């Protein structure tokens, strides 16, 4: 403490504080004790949260048989409500916010478990594809009738909507409404009465895209969403999608479809996250996301080729046109690889339609080659890309050449009429060149100057 004394004029003066080694040791010991206490509390919260999630997960595995399915689901629902009550007790009764936020975060993690079990009850009464995926097995969760299944949906919405609202208001107050809407939408995907991997994987990827777009355009811009609690609230939106994929992998396995959906979902999220990182990491994260998207679509394409969905003239376009679209979309991202991505997009578009015209000749492949070439060329001209424009022109010229060769019937080129027509055409072209040579050269120079301003 500062010591105070009076000088000869009666003024108050302060002496420098004296150093007390014993006091410093006490402060250091107290600080160490506080840090140790916080670490212990953090460890206890983590262990307690893991036990709570594990206890709720036993409902997914359905390993205990006491009571009816409706009674077991009611116990899970009540368990979720008790977690919210415990959070309110910690926050309002004990006046401790960390425990309250821990309980609310765990509550958000358990709500998708409720939705998964509820989806089983709904599927038992409203299944659209049971004859294709059940294969004689019984339903895991069974509602006594359709009315009971619908009543469970209504009761769950009434009970869990306020629970999720309290959690989001606590973790990310300014974005609570958007998070609640998105969370409800993602959990509703678990209630859809389809289990075919071809359907559920599409649903999972669509859900991941919705989360990525919502997070990129709205959620991540709010300061409350960038805190640790805000990131937990945003991450909760992915839990229903993860459970949707995990349920499919466990109960209705299809390696190519489920693996492709997982790659597509993660690739979409990484691509969306690439804009938030520093410039030095942006290129690597964007490229990794693009590779996952390419791998995911390739998995799906292989599955559909094995199922003979893509056959004949559809094989090449179904693989390379989506890949071309992915690279074209990636070229718009600020990663410094726009020219490379555009070149890959042009290459994939050409591989999709040009060889296909010769492997599977016909009217539709001819139209596809010409139309895709025209679209690629137009996009290249709009984006001022030399490679896209050249690729589109190659496809269009190929279609025209194929049509001309088909009409001329090359084996009859020695016919005098054909030779005469070609000779006349060459003379006319030569005359036009000699008459308008300066104008043609000037136009070519103008086009060359414009082409120099374009990127590759």
**Residue of 379, 397, 381 whose CA lies nearest to 447:** 381
- Distance separating alpha carbons of residues 385 and 217, to the nearest angstrom: 28
> Would you say 400 and 367 are in contact if contact means Cβ atoms under 8 Å apart?
no
pLDDT at 58: 65
Find residue 5's DSSP bridge partners.
13
3-state secondary structure of 172: coil
CA distance 345 to 193: 38
Residue-wise pLDDT tens digits, 224-278: 878 888 889 999 999 999 999 998 888 888 889 999 999 999 998 888 877 666 6
Alpha helix (H) residue ranges in 62-141 = 69-88, 97-126, 130-133
**415 — pLDDT class (breaks 50, 70, 90):** low
Under 8 Å between Cβ of 170 and 104: yes
Burial 348-380 (b: 16+ CB within 10 A, else e): bbbbbbbebbeeeeeeebbebbbebbeebbebb
- The helix/strand/coil state of 136 is coil
Across 355-359, average pLDDT: 82
**Tally of CA atoms within 13 A in the half-sphere of 253 that contains its CB:** 2
Beta-bridge partners for 371: none
Mean pLDDT check: name the lowest of 88-92, 410-414, 450-454: 410-414
For residues 89-118, average pLDDT: 86
Determine whether 141 is exposed, middle or buried from the number of CB atoms within 10 Å of its CB (0-12, 13-18, 19+): buried
What pTM does this model have?
Answer: 0.73
**DSSP one-letter string for 30-59:** HHHHHHHHHHHHHHHHHHHHHHHHHHHHHH
Most confident of 96-110, 124-138, 329-343: 96-110
When pLDDT is averaged across residues 6-28 and rounded to a whole number, the result is 50
For residue 57, the tally of other CB atoms under 10 A from its CB is: 13
pLDDT digits 0-9 by tens, 108-152: 999 999 999 999 999 989 988 877 776 545 677 888 999 999 999
């Amino acid at each position: 403490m500062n010591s105070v004394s009076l000088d000869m004029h009666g003024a108050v003066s302060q002496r420098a504080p004296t150093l007390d080694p014993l006091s410093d040791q006490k402060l250091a010991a107290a600080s160490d004790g506080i840090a140790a206490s916080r670490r212990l509390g953090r460890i206890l919260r983590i262990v307690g949260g893991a036990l709570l999630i594990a206890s709720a997960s036993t409902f997914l595995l359905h390993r205990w048989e006491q009571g009816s399915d409706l009674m077991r689901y009611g116990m899970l629902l009540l368990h979720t409500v008790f977690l919210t009550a415990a959070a309110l007790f910690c926050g309002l009764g004990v006046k401790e916010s960390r425990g309250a936020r821990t309980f609310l975060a765990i509550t958000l993690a358990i709500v998708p478990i409720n939705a998964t079990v509820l989806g089983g009850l709904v599927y038992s009464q409203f299944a659209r594809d049971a004859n294709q995926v059940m294969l004689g097995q019984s339903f895991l969760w069974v509602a006594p009738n359709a009315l009971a299944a619908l009543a469970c949906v209504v009761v769950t919405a009434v009970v869990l909507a306020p629970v999720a609202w309290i959690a989001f208001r606590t973790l990310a107050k300014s974005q609570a409404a958007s998070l609640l809407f998105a969370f409800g939408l993602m959990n509703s995907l678990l209630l859809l009465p389809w289990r075919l991997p071809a359907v559920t994987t599409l649903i999972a990827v669509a859900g991941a895209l919705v989360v990525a777009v919502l997070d990129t355009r709205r959620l991540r811009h709010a300061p409350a969403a960038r805190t640790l609690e805000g990131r937990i609230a945003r991450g909760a939106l992915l839990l229903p999608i993860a459970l949707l994929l995990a349920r499919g992998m466990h109960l209705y396995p299809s390696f190519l479809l489920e693996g492709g959906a997982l790659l597509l979902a993660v690739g979409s999220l990484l691509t969306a996250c690439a804009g938030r990182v520093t410039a030095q990491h942006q290129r690597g994260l964007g490229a990794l996301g693009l590779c996952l998207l390419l791998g995911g679509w390739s998995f799906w394409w292989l599955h559909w080729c094995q199922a003979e969905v893509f056959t004949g003239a559809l094989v090449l376009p179904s693989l390379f046109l989506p890949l071309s679209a992915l690279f074209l979309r990636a070229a718009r991202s600020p990663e410094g690889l726009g020219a490379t991505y555009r070149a890959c997009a042009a290459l994939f578009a050409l591989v999709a339609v040009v060889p296909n015209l010769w492997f599977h000749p016909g009217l539709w492949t001819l139209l596809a080659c010409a139309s895709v070439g025209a679209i690629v060329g137009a996009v290249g001209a709009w984006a001022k890309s030399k490679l896209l424009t050249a690729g589109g022109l190659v496809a269009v010229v190929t279609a025209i050449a194929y049509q001309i060769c088909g009409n001329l019937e090359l084996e009859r080129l020695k016919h005098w009429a054909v030779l005469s027509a070609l000779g006349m055409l060459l003379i006319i072209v030569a005359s036009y060149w000699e008459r308008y040579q300066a104008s043609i050269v000037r136009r070519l120079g103008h086009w060359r100057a414009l082409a120099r301003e374009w990127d590759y």
